[in-house]
Structure 1
Amino acid sequence: MSNQILQLDRRLFYFVNHDLGNPFFDWLMPLLRNPNVWIPLYVFIFIFCLYRYKKAGAYIIVLLALTFAIADYGSAGLIKNRVKRLRPCHEPALAGTIIVRIPCGSGYSFPSAHASNHFAIACFFSLVFYSRWKYIWWVAIAWAFFISFAQVYVGVHYPFDVTFGALYGLLVGYVVYLLFKKLQPQF
C-alpha cells in the first residue's frame, strides 16, 4: 500500500480507537466480537432453516457453511499469509498510542476474517430470504458492520482491514447465492 493510504488508515484507526472511545462502547464492542454472543444466532438460523424449510433448509445450511468456509479460507488462509500486515496492537509505530481493549491475539491483520465471514454470511442469507423479508438485508448487514467495527474499536484491525474483508465477504456471499439460484431445490 502507498504511504498516503497507510497514513489515512492509521488516522481512521486512531479516530475509532481513541476519539469514539466511551464506556458504553468499551463494554459493547468486545462483547460483539465474542463468538459466544453471535454463535447462538447462527445456531438459531440453522434450526429455523431445517424446521421451516426442511430439505431446502438443509440445502441453505450447506451453502451457508460453504459461504463461511470460502470466506474464512480466503481471508485467513490465503490473503493474510501473503500480505502479512501486522495488527495495530502489534505495530511498533503505534506502541504506546493504541488502546487495546482485548488481548491482541496472533496472526496478521489484513483482511479481517471476522468481517469477511460475517459479511459473506449476511449477504448470502439476505439474498436467499430477501423476497420473503425485505428488511433482512439491513438487519444482516448492520449485524456484520457492527461486528466489523468492533474489530477496529478494540484495536485488533485497521479500518481498511475490515473494509476489504467486508467487500471480499460480500463477493463470496453473492457468488454462493448465484450457485444457490442455479441449483436450488423448491423453495
Structure 2
Amino acid sequence: MLESILKQDLRLFFHINGQWHNAVLDYILPLAREPYMWAPLYLFLALFVTINYRWKGFWWILFFLLCFALADQSSLYIKQAFGRVRPCRDPIVSHYARILVGYCPTSGSFTSNHAANHFALATFCFLTLKSALGRYTWLFFLWAALVGYAQVYVGVHYPLDVAGGAVLGIFIGLLSGSFFQRRIRLEPEQTS
C-alpha cells in the first residue's frame, strides 16, 4: 500500500515538475516561495491589527509568531523522524527533475516546512481575521496552496510532502486560532 502511494506521489511530482510547466511559471513560482515575496503580506497584517485593534493586535502578532514557530519546529521534527530524501537530492530522481532553485536544502523532505508554516498561518488568519476581512480570508489558503505548489514545481519537495505539511499546518493553525478566539478575540477598541 505504502509503495503504491509513493509511486503515485512520484508520478504526480514528475507531472507538476516536468510536464505542467511554462516560461511564466518558471519565473513566478521560484519567487513565490521566497521570504521577500511573502514577508510584506505578513508585515501588512501586523500593521493592520496593530492600528485597528491596539493592544489586542500585539497579542495577535504574538500568537501569529507562536503559530509559525510551532508549525516550523513540528515540521522539522517530523523531517528528522521520516528522513525522506528530497527530489533534488535523490541520486536517481534529481537526474530527471527540473531543479529551479540554486540551493537544495539538506534537511528531509517530509513534511514541507513552507507548506506547514503557510497553512498554519492561513488557518490562523482565517479564524482570527474573518470578522474583519469577511469572505476574503479564503485567499490566505490560496496563497498557502500557491507556495506549496511552488515547492513541488521547483523540485525541492514531493506532493505528499506538501500535503503532509498542509495537514500539519492546518492542525496547528486550528489549535492556535481557536485558542486565540476563545481567550482574546480581535474586537475594535472602544473609545470613550
**TM-score (norm: length of structure 1):** 0.95
Structure 1: give runs of 5+ residues left out of the alignment: none
Tell me the SS of whatever aligns to 2:126.
Answer: helix
% identical equivalent positions: 38
Pairs aligned (count): 186
Q: Deviations over 1:88-137 (max 9, x none)?
A: 01112313211100021221110000000000001001111112322233
1:1-187 pair list within 5 angstroms: 2-76=2-76, 78-102=77-101, 103-184=103-184, 187=187
Structure 2: give runs of 5+ residues left out of the alignment: 188-192
Letter in 2 for 1:106: T
Q: Distance in 2 between matches of 1:152 and 1:7?
A: 15
Tell me the SS of whatever aligns to 2:149.
Answer: helix
Q: Deviations over 1:141-161 (max 9, x none)?
A: 000000010000000000000
Letter in 1 for 2:138: W
| Deviation at residue 51 of structure 1 after TM alignment | 1.2
**TM-score (norm: length of structure 2):** 0.93
Distance 1:131 1:142, change over 3 A: same
Cross-structure match for 2:190: none
Letter in 2 for 1:13: F
Q: Distance in 1 between matches of 2:124 and 2:78?
A: 21
- 8 Å Cα contact 1:33/1:151 also seen in 2: yes
Of residues 132-141 and 97-106 in structure 1, the stretch that sits farther from structure 2 once superposed is 132-141
Q: Deviations over 1:34-60 (max 9, x none)?
A: 111111111111111111110111111
Q: Which runs of 4+ in 1 moved over 4 A?
A: none
